Structure 1
Amino acid sequence: MSPEPWQRLDTKAPAVAALVGAGIAISAGVPTAAGIAAGTSLRVALAWVLPPAVLIVITLALVEYVRLRRTQYRIGAERAELHTAIVVLHRRSLPRERIRSVDVTANPLQRMFGLVAVKIGTGEHADAGEGTLTLNPVGKVEAERLRELLRGGRSETDGTLAALDPAWIRYAPISFLVPALGLGAGGVVMQVAQWFTLEDELIGWIGDLFSGVPLLVVILVLAAILTVVGVIGSLGLFVEMWWNYRLDREPGTLRVRRGLLTTRSISVEERRLRGVDVVEPLGVRLAGAARVDAVATGLVKQKEDEKTDHKTLLPAAPKELADRIAAEVLREEVAPTAAAQLIPHPRAALGRRMRIGRSAMGSAGSIW
C-alpha cells in the first residue's frame, strides 16, 4: 500500500477555539465585572473587562489557526506520521504493526461542529505521550476512515455483547462519589458567593435560617442536603458517562462506545487481553452488582486521559450479567470469576499475622 498524501486537521478548529475562549472570558469576566461594578459603575466595569475578553478570543483562535496550518498527518503502509511546527518542529512516527488502539472522543463543542479527536496509541509506557499520535480535531467521517484503515479495513461487527439498561442507574447513588460530589457542590456555592462578595451574607442567611436550632441538628440537615445533591450529581455523572453504552466485538477487537456530552469510542485488542476483573465495591456488592474491567497490556492512561477509564468494559450491573459478560469476553462458557471457589486461610495464619503485627508495632514504638 502506497503512503497517503499528507492530510490537514479540520478547518473548523479555530471556530471551536474561539468558542472556548469566549467561555473562558465569560466565566472570568462576569465575577470580575460584578466586583468592579460594585465599587464604581457598570460602564467602568465593562471598559475593564471587555478588551481582555476580546483579546482572549482572538488569541486562542489565532493560535489554533497557526496550529492548523502547521500540522499534517498521513497513514503509510508501514508508519503513521504526525508533523507539527508551531514553534519547534516535532515529527512523530509510529510503526503500523505496533499500533494497539484507535480511540475516538468528542466533547460537546466538537460535537456541535461534527468534529472528534482521534488518538492512535502503541500501548507503551512512554513519557510525554511519545507512544501516541493525537489528531485533534478531524471530521467524524475521517475518524471512522482512519479507524478502519488502521484496523486493516475491517468494519464489520461480530455482535453486541452488552448495551445500556437504564435500570443500571440505580447503582450510581451507592458509590463513594456521592459524599465527594456533595462536598464539591458546597464548595462551589461558597466560591461563587466569594466572587460576588456575598460570602458573609450567605453565612449570615444560613445562621438566621437555623437560629435557635441545636448545632447537631444543623449539621445533620446540611449533611442531608449535601447527600441529596451528591445523589443527584452521581445520577447525572452516570448518564453523562454511560449514555448510549455498547460493548461490541469486532474482528480481533472489543469496542466500547459511550457518553452523552463527551462521546468516547475505546478499543481493546483481544490479542492483548490477559483476563478480566469483576470488581465489586462495598456498596455495589451489597446491591448484588459488579463491573467488569479488562486486564490487558497497553492500557496506558496519559495525563490528558486521567478522567477516562480505558479498561472498563461494563459499568456496575447485576452480578449475573457481569459474570456472563466476563465469560463472553474471554470466549468461555463459564466465567472464571464465578466458578472459582475461594479457600480461607487457616486459623494459624491469622494468629501468626496478628503476632507479626504486634511485634512490628512494638519495634516502631521502641524507635520513638
Structure 2
Amino acid sequence: MTTPGSQHFAASRPDPAEPAPEWLPLDRRTIAASTVVAAGALAATAVPAGSGLLLGGVGLAWVLLWTIGGTILGAAATAVIETARLAVTRYRVDAHRIERRVRFLSSSTTSLSTGRVRNVEISADLVQRRMGIATVRLASGETDGSRLILGALDREVAEELRRHLVAERAATDASELVRLDPGWVRYAPASVMTPLFGLLGIGIVFQVADWFGAVPEMLEWIWDRIGDLPIPVIAAGVLVLALVVGTIASVALFVENWWNLRLEHHEDGSLELHRGLLVGRHTSFDGRRIRGVTLHEPPGFRLLGAARLDVVASGVGTGKDDEGKKKQSPALVPASPRAVSAGAAGTILGEPVPPVLRAHPPAARRRRLVRAGAVVVAVTGASLVPAVIWPWLWWVPAVALVLSAASAIWASLDNARGLGHEITGGVVALRKGSLMRRTDVLGRDGILGWNIRRSPLQRRAGLATLVATTAGGSGAFRLPDVGREQAPALWRTAGPVWDHLAEPPGSRRVVTNAAKSDTRPGKT
C-alpha cells in the first residue's frame, strides 16, 4: 500500500512491454483541509449577515439557525463533495506522461507529456501547510497554456514530482536575483487599482445592506450627518474614503501575495519563484520558453521611481486557457525600485533593458490631442443636459469642461511621451500607454512575425500600428503609431521571411505595401 511521501516516479521505461505505472489516489487530508477552509469562509460571512439580520429585527434564534446552521451545512456539503472527488480521481506519472483520470458517470483523462511541461507551481494555503499537503499546477509549452491540476498531494510527493518534471533544470546552479524588501510595501498604494479597490469596498457595504433592505435607513443616517455640506466637499470626502479603503486593501494584497519573495535564476535560464503569506507558492519557469519580460509603470509607480516585472513565457499569462482554467500568473517582481526590476529583467534576458527608447513622430502626438479634444466635447455636451433641465446646475458644464480638458490633455501628452521603441542585438523594446504604461522587452529569437495595420487617418499621417507575435504571454504585443521610416527596422527583426517588404529608403509605399500583404506570421 502506498503511503504519503513514499511514491517514486519512474525514471525511464526502456521496455515497451513493461506495464504502465499504477493509478495513485490524491491525498485524503485534502478533505479535512477543504472543509476547514470552507467553514472559515462561511463563518466570516455569517458575522456581517447575522448582524444585518439582527438590525433588521429578526429574532436571535432565527439568526443563530441561519448563521451557525448554514456554516455547519456548508462545511458538511464541502466534505461530501471532496470525498466524492477523491473517490473518482486518480493520477499516474512515468518518464513520458503525467495523467489525471476522473471516473464518475463518464470517464475523462487529462494527459500532458512530461517533456512539454514548462511551468510547475506548488501552492499551499495556511491549512494545507499545517497538514503537510499542497496543490500542484502544471502548464504545458503551448501558447494557450494547457493546465493540469492535482489537488492535493503530500508535500514531499509534490516536491518529488516537481523535481521529476524539471530534473535537468533542478540540477543546475542557481543565483538569487531578488529578495523582498519590506519597505517595498510603500509602492502598493500607488497602483491604479487602489481607488477601484476602495469603490469596490464601498459597493460591497451597500450590497450587504441591500440584502437586508437596510439601504434607505443607511442613506438616511449618512445624509443626516453630511447633508448640510456642499456637494464638492461631499464628493471629495467620498474620494478620500475610497482612497483610504483602497490603500488598506492594496497593502493587504501586497503582503499576502509577495511575502517571503525569493526569485532565483538557473544557469540554463530557468527561474524559481517563492512567495506568499497565507498561500505559499513555489513556481518554476522553463528558461527555454521565456520569450521576454514586461515592465509595468503606471503614473503612481513612475512618480515614485518604481516598476513591476512580469515574465513573457509560453503557458503563462492573464485570463483562461482553452479549457477554461486560469493561466499561471506571469508576475515575477512586485512594485519595487525600477533599478531592481530592470536589473532582474537584464539578467533574465541576457542583456540590459534599453535605458532610452526612440520617440515616435510628432504626428503620433497630434493624433492623441485630437482624440482628447473629442473627449472634452463629448463630456461637456453630456453635462449640458442636467444644466438645461435644472438651471441651478449651471456650474456642472463648467466643471466638466475644466476637469475633462485637464485630464484628457495630460493623458494624451503623457501617452505620446511614453511611445517608444528600441532594437539591440538581442532584444526589441516596445513601450506604450499612460495610465497602464508598459514596456515589453522581447527576445529577438522569439519573435515569430509582425502584423502591420493602418487606418485611413494613419496612412494620411504616415504612421502604422505594428503587432509583434510571439509564443508567450498574450501572443501579440501592440506598438501604435510607428513612423513610416521606423517600421522597416522593426519588422526586419522577425527574420528573412519579411525581406520582401523592404523598399528603397524614402519610398512612401513601404508601409502601405506591407499593410496590403498577408501579414500573418510566417507568410511570404
TM over 0.5, yes or no?
yes
**Where does the alignment leave 5 or more consecutive residues of structure 1 unmatched?**
361-368
Aligned residue number for residue 306 of structure 2: 289
Of the three residues 211, 214, 221, the one matched with 2:237 is: 221
Letter in 2 for 1:313: L
Of the three residues 146, 157, 164, the one matched with 1:142 is: 157
Residues in 2 aligned to 1:282 and 1:29: alpha-carbon distance in whole angstroms:
39
Aligned residue number for residue 111 of structure 2: 93
Pairing 1:183-202 to 2, within 5 Å after superposition: 183-202=199-218
Residues in 2 aligned to 1:210 and 1:110: alpha-carbon distance in whole angstroms:
47
Q: Which has the higher contact order (CA 8 A, sep 6+)?
A: 1
CA distance 1:256–1:34, change in 2 (3 Å): same
Residues in 1 aligned to 2:231 and 2:113: alpha-carbon distance in whole angstroms:
65
Instruction: Say whether the 8 Å CA contact 2:102–2:109 is kept in structure 1.
Output: yes
Pairing 1:99-178 to 2, within 5 Å after superposition: 99-125=117-143, 131-152=146-167, 154=170, 157-178=173-194
Tell me the secondary structure at the aligned position of residue 337 of structure 1.
Answer: coil
Instruction: Say whether the 8 Å CA contact 1:164–1:246 is kept in structure 2.
Output: yes
Q: Is 50-59 or 3-12 further displaced after alignment?
A: 50-59
Letter in 1 for 2:249: G
CA distance 1:121–1:8, change in 2 (3 Å): same
Deviation by residue 1:262-298 (Cα, 9 ceiling, x = unmatched): 2222221111122222332222112212222222233
Letter in 1 for 2:339: E
Aligned residue number for residue 246 of structure 2: 230
CA distance 1:108–1:194, change in 2 (3 Å): farther
Instruction: Say whether the 8 Å CA contact 1:123–1:299 is kept in structure 2.
Output: no
**Where does the alignment leave 5 or more consecutive residues of structure 2 unmatched?**
1-11, 14-19, 371-455, 462-524
Of the three residues 336, 339, 356, the one matched with 2:457 is: 356
Aligned residue number for residue 364 of structure 1: none
Aligned residue number for residue 326 of structure 2: 305
Instruction: Say whether the 8 Å CA contact 1:35–1:197 is kept in structure 2.
Output: no
Q: Calculate the TM-score normalised by the size of structure 2.
A: 0.60
Tell me the secondary structure at the aligned position of residue 305 of structure 1.
Answer: coil
- The answer to whether the aligner puts 1:255 opposite 2:272 as a matched pair is yes
Instruction: Say whether the 8 Å CA contact 2:258–2:277 is kept in structure 1.
Output: yes
Tell me the secondary structure at the aligned position of residue 87 of structure 1.
Answer: coil
Aligned residue pair count: 351
Residues in 2 aligned to 1:294 and 1:219: alpha-carbon distance in whole angstroms:
39
Residues in 2 aligned to 1:261 and 1:251: alpha-carbon distance in whole angstroms:
31
Q: Is 49-58 or 202-211 further displaced after alignment?
A: 49-58
CA distance 1:186–1:170, change in 2 (3 Å): same
CA distance 1:216–1:346, change in 2 (3 Å): closer
Q: Calculate the TM-score normalised by the size of structure 1.
A: 0.83
- The answer to whether the aligner puts 1:245 opposite 2:269 as a matched pair is no
Of the three residues 308, 312, 337, the one matched with 1:318 is: 337
- The answer to whether the aligner puts 1:73 opposite 2:94 as a matched pair is no
Residues in 2 aligned to 1:305 and 1:157: alpha-carbon distance in whole angstroms:
31
CA distance 1:33–1:122, change in 2 (3 Å): same
CA distance 1:337–1:291, change in 2 (3 Å): farther
Aligned residue number for residue 343 of structure 1: 358
Q: Which has the larger radius of gyration?
A: 2
Letter in 2 for 1:215: I
Residues in 2 aligned to 1:36 and 1:228: alpha-carbon distance in whole angstroms:
28
Residues in 1 aligned to 2:267 and 2:159: alpha-carbon distance in whole angstroms:
16
Tell me the secondary structure at the aligned position of residue 354 of structure 2.
Answer: helix
Using the TM superposition, give the Cα deviation of residue 26 of structure 1 relative to its aligned residue in structure 2, in angstroms.
4.0
Aligned residue number for residue 212 of structure 1: 228
Q: Is 38-47 or 247-256 further displaced after alignment?
A: 38-47
Using the TM superposition, give the Cα deviation of residue 16 of structure 1 relative to its aligned residue in structure 2, in angstroms.
2.5
Deviation by residue 1:285-329 (Cα, 9 ceiling, x = unmatched): 1221222222223325535436x6x22222222122222211211
- The answer to whether the aligner puts 1:16 opposite 2:37 as a matched pair is no
Using the TM superposition, give the Cα deviation of residue 73 of structure 1 relative to its aligned residue in structure 2, in angstroms.
1.2
Q: Percent identity?
A: 35
Residues in 1 aligned to 2:234 and 2:141: alpha-carbon distance in whole angstroms:
51
Instruction: Say whether the 8 Å CA contact 2:178–2:340 is kept in structure 1.
Output: no
CA distance 1:244–1:19, change in 2 (3 Å): same
Give the root-mean-square deviation of aligned CA atoms: 3.1
Using the TM superposition, give the Cα deviation of residue 37 of structure 1 relative to its aligned residue in structure 2, in angstroms.
9.5
Residues in 2 aligned to 1:270 and 1:5: alpha-carbon distance in whole angstroms:
32
Aligned residue number for residue 182 of structure 1: 198
Tell me the secondary structure at the aligned position of residue 99 of structure 2.
Answer: strand
- The answer to whether the aligner puts 1:7 opposite 2:21 as a matched pair is no
Using the TM superposition, give the Cα deviation of residue 236 of structure 1 relative to its aligned residue in structure 2, in angstroms.
1.2
Pairing 1:20-59 to 2, within 5 Å after superposition: 20-23=37-40, 25-26=42-43, 31=49, 35=53, 41-44=59-62, 46=64, 53-59=71-77
Residues in 1 aligned to 2:194 and 2:62: alpha-carbon distance in whole angstroms:
43
Letter in 2 for 1:68: L
Using the TM superposition, give the Cα deviation of residue 243 of structure 1 relative to its aligned residue in structure 2, in angstroms.
0.6
Q: Is 189-198 or 315-324 further displaced after alignment?
A: 189-198
Using the TM superposition, give the Cα deviation of residue 36 of structure 1 relative to its aligned residue in structure 2, in angstroms.
8.7
Letter in 2 for 1:105: S
Residues in 2 aligned to 1:27 and 1:136: alpha-carbon distance in whole angstroms:
24
